[in-house]
């Protein structure tokens, strides 16, 4: 009796391509009421910026209307944007930070 040819075992591993979770931008929005110094203070307190960087970001938002501050995983970006906006809210300023996914 002749053995049937042994079929080599081939295993096909399907590795699903997982998308890397997108980072989210935190964006500072200009307004006409929040004092410049206060915006700088919030940027330093919530985003760990030094005076010079915080001033540059504030003045960019002031001149252009918006400024991207930093990118983080979504939950971090949303928490920071909320906390930073709340600093203004407490004192009655319309200071606003938003988030959006990176392309």
In the complex, the residues that contact ligand TYC under the rule CB under 6 A are 28-32, 34-36, 39, 58, 61-62, 95
Is the Cβ of residue 33 or residue 73 nearer to ligand TYC in the bound state? 33
**Smallest distance, ligand TYC to C-beta of residue 34, A:** 4
Distance from C-alpha of 15 to C-alpha of 103, rounded to nearest angstrom: 24
**C-alpha R_g of the chain:** 25
The single residue listed with the structure tokens 């970001």 is 57
Nearer to ligand TYC, 40 or 72 (CB): 40
- CA proximity to 23, closest of 62, 57, 73, 59: 73
**Closest distance of CB 57 from ligand TYC, Å:** 8
């Amino acid at each position: 009796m002749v053995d049937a040819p042994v079929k080599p075992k081939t295993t096909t591993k399907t590795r699903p391509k997982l998308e890397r979770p997108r980072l989210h931008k935190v964006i500072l929005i200009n307004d006409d009421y929040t004092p410049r110094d206060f915006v700088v203070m919030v940027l330093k307190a919530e985003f760990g910026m030094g005076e010079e960087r915080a001033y540059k970001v504030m003045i960019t938002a002031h001149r252009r209307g918006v400024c991207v501050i930093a990118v983080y995983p979504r939950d971090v970006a949303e928490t920071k944007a909320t906390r930073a906006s709340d600093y203004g809210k407490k004192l009655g300023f319309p200071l606003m930070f938003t988030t959006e996914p990176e392309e």
